[in-house]
Structure 1
Amino acid sequence: MIIKGNCQIAGIGIYLPEQIVTSKELMREIKSEANYGISESWLDDVVGISNRRVARRDEKPSHLAIKAAEEALKNSGITASEIDVVIFCGISREWIEPAVAHKVQHELGCTNAICFDVSNACHGFMNSILIANNLMQASDAKYVLVVTGEVSTDITFHYVDKLKVKDASLKKEIGALTLGDAGAAMVLQPREGESGFQLFNFATNAKHTNLCKISVAGTGGYEGQMLMSQISSEIVQIHSNLIQSTYSALDWKPEDIELFVCHQVGEKPHLRMSKMAGVPASIAPISYKDYGNITTATIPFNLYQANPKKGQKALIGGTGSGLTISQSGIIF
């Protein structure tokens, strides 16, 4: 599905917890060599993830989101009271009801904003940008704040405890050890001239839902699986099936792309995504090495780190379990 772009980025903010946990520490904790015959350096050497940030116990998803939003508002030059809509899109939530966006709205002072949550696994931030984009087309919404706060490492440490038992299924559950915590926020406003999102191309293939599915167990904690190799292969294939229609709709060629930002779960999938898009890996910034899979925060984090120059053309590749993807063209 191709949707016209109506918005542009006014400002981005990020927030990272202070604590760093290494991959070797996690592998040592599960006794990977003794229990599974896998080196403690496997996540570093094979997946490409060396570190991740871990939130304090008192740092809730809304806390990370609010910290990131404060920076995004500052960078945009837009005040909290000017925000028309607040969307929280994190996988992590500190409560079921009401929407976490209500807490963000109140704490930031976005008193004139309507607010709600959006949930679509790691793809939630791109879905929220699309909703903001369409609100600007269909209503008088001028400024939309999209925020996320991910405390995914509570899943990580649940599975670390589980994987300490030798008969656990490492293949199904090691993906949980790739997660990291982060907050990210983006202020969006209507397009002006050539700048902004040119279009969005979205696709979903729900037959792959079971490849990555985590639920709350009846006895507490989590249950499910994250079959990372299969997920990555299917995701790249879905992107490959879509990329030519995206380039055609944009009237761009791969050599026009100056920045490629995509969701990241590790080194090999990242390189395959660059190849899929027909762009050199050198123009695709990485976050997985030092921060792991930061789920919905990945794309805004990498856009923030890249600090694009005015006029640059970028391709954004969004991904989420389900499986769901998007490809977006943007001119800064």
Structure 2
Amino acid sequence: MLRARIVGTGSAVPDKVLTNFDLEKMVDTSDEWITTRTGIKERRIAVEGEYTSTFATRAAERALEMAGIAAHEIDLLIVATVTPDFPFPSTACIVQSNIGASKAAAFDVSAACSGFVYGLSLASNAIRTGAASKVLVIGAEVLTRIIDWTDRNTCLLFGDGAGAAVLSSSSDEHGILSTHIHSDGNYWELLYQAGCGSRNPAVQKTFDERLYFLRMQGNEVFKLAVRAMEDAALEALTTNGLTPADIDIFIPHQANRRIIDAIGKRLGLNGDKVFVNLDRYGNTSAASIPIALDEANRTGRIAAGDVVLFDSFGGGLTWGSALIRW
């Protein structure tokens, strides 16, 4: 049976760092308040001339280099993002041009913080069916362009960057064992960007009413996230006849340290098995899992044969998991 195996990872983040102490000068908050409630100490911020495609391209190039695969060998290129360079064309098409992936079909996926897992699911299915043999999946965001820097409920949380994975067909026991994606549109108003779509187009009224910025009901999102991510994790394990004790490394969406700790506790995972880099990057939405994956991979936290679990939750609402034998 064909499986999709991750053969290369890459990531890229802006050079500019915004610390909690910097935020103390911008809004009514403190380093202690932010750290206690979120676990975030700093985040990366894109500067003028840097776009979602900038970081997506860099991450893709690093992943391809690790994989030893040329861009022209890629059959399918997926970018997960809610902050594309333009409404259209897709950011995936821009990345395709930048790296020279001339053979690939390219498109974006909009599933917010679950976007990378959604992309992996699409890639895995394409490889399993033989529709593609080499796929590049990227999660990339420049969320700070849609953040209201006067709203301390949201401006503390988010950062920019991208992560990428190259998947290749494999016939052995290594690779993606299963993916599980879900959504519930009844909760769409808990986390969304109100302006600049067809409902509230980009006109002066939209900007005057500050509809351009991300809106979030944090407490409600928190409660739903913990339950949904636990369910998705257990679904992946049950499908493959495994238990939490079989997990070697758990890479959850990096949204809030309290959410990560709550899920880890429910699954009975000790701290050594839970990968966290939220403190340095904040919530990078679709980029968070692939950035963490690349860091874990390059620092030797993942070894051949390890069971790796991805777990995500985002606006939509969307959530999902992926279980991998490395």
Give the TM-score normalised by structure 2.
Answer: 0.90
For residues 128-150 of structure 1, the C-alpha deviation after alignment (integer angstroms, 9 at most, x for no partner) is 11111111133441111112331
Which residue identity lines up with residue 228 of structure 1 in the other structure?
G
Question: Residue 111 of structure 1 aligns with which residue?
Answer: 102
For residues 64-102 of structure 1, the C-alpha deviation after alignment (integer angstroms, 9 at most, x for no partner) is 100111100000000011011111111211211211111
Question: Residue 310 of structure 2 aligns with which residue?
Answer: 316
- CA RMSD in angstroms comes to 1.9
| Cα distance change on mapping 1:42 and 1:73 into 2, 3 Å | same
Displacement of 1:223: 4.1
Question: Residue 325 of structure 1 aligns with which residue?
Answer: 319
Q: Could you tell me which of 248, 268, 272 is aligned with 2:262?
A: 272
Determine whether 1:28 maps to 2:22: no
| Cα distance change on mapping 1:190 and 1:269 into 2, 3 Å | same
Q: How does 1:71-150 map to 2 (within 5 A)?
A: 71-150=62-141
Q: Could you tell me which of 174, 180, 186 is aligned with 2:165?
A: 186
Q: How does 1:18-57 map to 2 (within 5 A)?
A: 18-30=15-27, 32=28, 38-39=29-30, 41-57=32-48
Q: Could you tell me which of 9, 12, 28 is aligned with 2:6?
A: 9
For residues 211-251 of structure 1, the C-alpha deviation after alignment (integer angstroms, 9 at most, x for no partner) is 11122264335245212222121111123344444322111
| Cα distance change on mapping 1:244 and 1:86 into 2, 3 Å | closer
Runs of 5+ in structure 2 lacking a partner? 197-204
Question: Residue 183 of structure 2 aligns with which residue?
Answer: 204
Q: State the alpha-carbon separation in 1 of the partners of residues 101 and 231 from structure 2.
A: 41
Determine whether 1:68 maps to 2:59: yes
| Cα distance change on mapping 1:23 and 1:276 into 2, 3 Å | same
Q: State the alpha-carbon separation in 1 of the partners of residues 229 and 281 from structure 2.
A: 24
SS of corresponding position for 1:123 = helix
Q: State the alpha-carbon separation in 2 of the partners of residues 9 and 305 from structure 1.
A: 14
- Larger mean CA deviation between 292-301 and 230-239 belongs to 230-239
Which residue identity lines up with residue 210 of structure 1 in the other structure?
E
Contact 1:64 1:148 in 2 (8 A): no
Contact 2:2 2:171 in 1 (8 A): no
Contact 2:114 2:286 in 1 (8 A): yes
Q: State the alpha-carbon separation in 2 of the partners of residues 200 and 50 from structure 1.
A: 32
Q: State the alpha-carbon separation in 2 of the partners of residues 251 and 5 from structure 1.
A: 19
| Cα distance change on mapping 1:132 and 1:148 into 2, 3 Å | same
| Cα distance change on mapping 1:87 and 1:241 into 2, 3 Å | closer
| Residues paired across the two proteins, number | 311
Contact 1:235 1:323 in 2 (8 A): no
| Cα distance change on mapping 1:75 and 1:239 into 2, 3 Å | same
| Cα distance change on mapping 1:240 and 1:68 into 2, 3 Å | closer
Contact 2:117 2:181 in 1 (8 A): no
Q: Could you tell me which of 134, 148, 156 is aligned with 1:177?
A: 156
Q: State the alpha-carbon separation in 2 of the partners of residues 97 and 245 from structure 1.
A: 35
Contact 1:5 1:197 in 2 (8 A): no
Q: State the alpha-carbon separation in 2 of the partners of residues 186 and 111 from structure 1.
A: 18
| Cα distance change on mapping 1:97 and 1:202 into 2, 3 Å | closer
Determine whether 1:250 maps to 2:240: yes
- Larger mean CA deviation between 138-147 and 114-123 belongs to 138-147
Which residue identity lines up with residue 161 of structure 2 in the other structure?
A
Question: Residue 292 of structure 1 aligns with which residue?
Answer: 282
Q: State the alpha-carbon separation in 1 of the partners of residues 137 and 323 from structure 2.
A: 19
| Cα distance change on mapping 1:250 and 1:25 into 2, 3 Å | same
Contact 2:79 2:138 in 1 (8 A): yes
Q: State the alpha-carbon separation in 2 of the partners of residues 239 and 291 from structure 1.
A: 21
Contact 2:56 2:164 in 1 (8 A): yes
Give the TM-score normalised by structure 1.
Answer: 0.88
Which residue identity lines up with residue 188 of structure 1 in the other structure?
L
Paired-residue identity, %: 29
| Cα distance change on mapping 1:46 and 1:242 into 2, 3 Å | closer
